[in-house]
Structure 1
């Protein structure tokens, strides 16, 4: 069997003396592993760095086999991504999220989003917003999507202020006020049609929102902790925003 695709390196692990197993988020085939012969060579090590875009050819006798990759670079970002804490932690945190998906499941929109965020990790404010939306997309693909479009109680699409921790649905200011202390705040920049940008306070709220549902529905049922890279990214992004204020 053989196929060709484009992908983004998520990580590698050593396999034998000179080879590595590469974990690549591909456009058409999702997160996919494969053996790269000579992956520890001087020529290949700079290519097989997390965040780099590559063109890959995968070959195996049977579809269920690990298979081998032939990898060619198309965009080498890794050196630039090492220049800031936001970028370093961001790459690690997104890779950790994508590992929650079954291997070889196609998620082309997540592949596209990954590429966009990698190009914007040097801008903490924009990167923070994009990352939150990436987490929301992950929750959707894992079957736990939030409904932030209309009020769960009234159906209103305006003046949405809260998110119900039970249903993951938006709630308007008036409907949610009696239970405000039990609600999660809905950051204004996540409201439908909002043209607002995140500031330090609303970005922090947004990460609390996605973190709550990721922990409840994804990490805790699997007996996992939220990766430290996520906290590192959040701290770096908020610190950068604070410095800009």
Structure 2
């Protein structure tokens, strides 16, 4: 068995003295693992870093076997991201969400979105919004997507301000006001026709929104905990926004690694 594909590295783990098991998100073959012989060598280690985009050849005697990878670099993104705590935690969070999907299950849309996100992970201003949007895509791929297009109660398309925790559907400001304490806030940047970017409060509201549905539909039924990296990402984003508030304009892209 053999196939060739493009992939983005999610992580590696040691295998024996010289090799490594490589985990990648591929364009056509989903999240896939394979053994890289000599993967711990000085030559291979810079290539086999999370966030790098690589050209892959996978070989195995049978399809269900782990198989072996040959990986050649296309884009070495890791070196660009490593000094940013926001970028590192964001990449780890994205990888953790992809591990919720069945291995080898193709998700071409998520692959393309991941590739775009990695291009912008050193822009700390954009990371919170981008990660939340990716989380909503993952929920949709898992079969638990939210419907934020119209009000669940009235069908209204404007002033969508809340989300029902029961249905995962948007609710307008007028329809939801009497029950606002039981509804989840819908951040402005996720609302229909939004033009305004996401500030820290909107990002935190958005993370609480996606957290609720991940917990309800995924983490609790599977008996697993949310990824630690996600909490690290929120902390790093808060530090970034706090530093910028003290010195406006001093920080625009990237941040200091923790």
* TM over 0.5, shorter chain: yes
| TM-score for both structures, normalised by structure 1 | 0.97
* Residue 216 of structure 1, CA deviation: 1.1
CA contact (8 A) 2:7 2:55 kept: yes
Q: Deviations over 1:159-187 (max 9, x none)?
A: 11100011110000111111011110000
* Residue 194 of structure 1, CA deviation: 1.0
CA distance in 1, matches of 2:234, 2:111: 21
SS at match of 1:73: strand
How many residue pairs were aligned? Answer: 245
Q: Which residue of 2 aligns with 1:178?
A: 178
CA distance in 2, matches of 1:41, 1:177: 60
* Residue 241 of structure 1, CA deviation: 2.8
Residues 1:161 and 2:161 aligned together: yes
Q: Which residue of 1 aligns with 2:250?
A: none
CA contact (8 A) 2:60 2:68 kept: yes
* Residue 119 of structure 1, CA deviation: 1.3
CA distance in 1, matches of 2:144, 2:124: 27
Residues 1:189 and 2:217 aligned together: no
Where do residues 76-155 of structure 1 align in structure 2 (5 Å cutoff)? 76-155=76-155
CA distance in 2, matches of 1:242, 1:123: 16
* Residue 130 of structure 1, CA deviation: 0.7
CA distance in 2, matches of 1:234, 1:146: 22
Unaligned stretches of 5+ in structure 2?
246-258
Q: Which residue of 2 aligns with 1:223?
A: 223
CA distance in 2, matches of 1:101, 1:238: 29
Q: Which residue of 2 aligns with 1:233?
A: 233
SS at match of 1:115: helix
CA contact (8 A) 2:113 2:134 kept: yes
Q: Which residue of 2 aligns with 1:34?
A: 34
* Residue 141 of structure 1, CA deviation: 0.3
Q: Which residue of 1 aligns with 2:4?
A: 4
SS at match of 2:120: coil
CA contact (8 A) 1:200 1:242 kept: no
* Residue 125 of structure 1, CA deviation: 2.0
CA contact (8 A) 1:204 1:238 kept: no
CA distance in 2, matches of 1:132, 1:97: 11
Answer with 202-211 or 230-239: which moved more.
230-239
SS at match of 1:71: strand
CA distance in 2, matches of 1:145, 1:239: 30
* Residue 17 of structure 1, CA deviation: 1.5
CA contact (8 A) 1:120 1:127 kept: yes
* Residue 45 of structure 1, CA deviation: 0.8
SS at match of 2:167: coil
CA distance in 1, matches of 2:172, 2:16: 57
Answer with 229-238 or 35-44: which moved more.
229-238
SS at match of 2:54: strand
Find runs of 4+ consecutive structure 1 residues off by over 2 angstroms: 241-245
Q: Which residue of 1 aligns with 2:66?
A: 66
| TM-score for both structures, normalised by structure 2 | 0.93
Unaligned stretches of 5+ in structure 1?
none
CA distance in 2, matches of 1:37, 1:107: 27
* Residue 219 of structure 1, CA deviation: 0.8
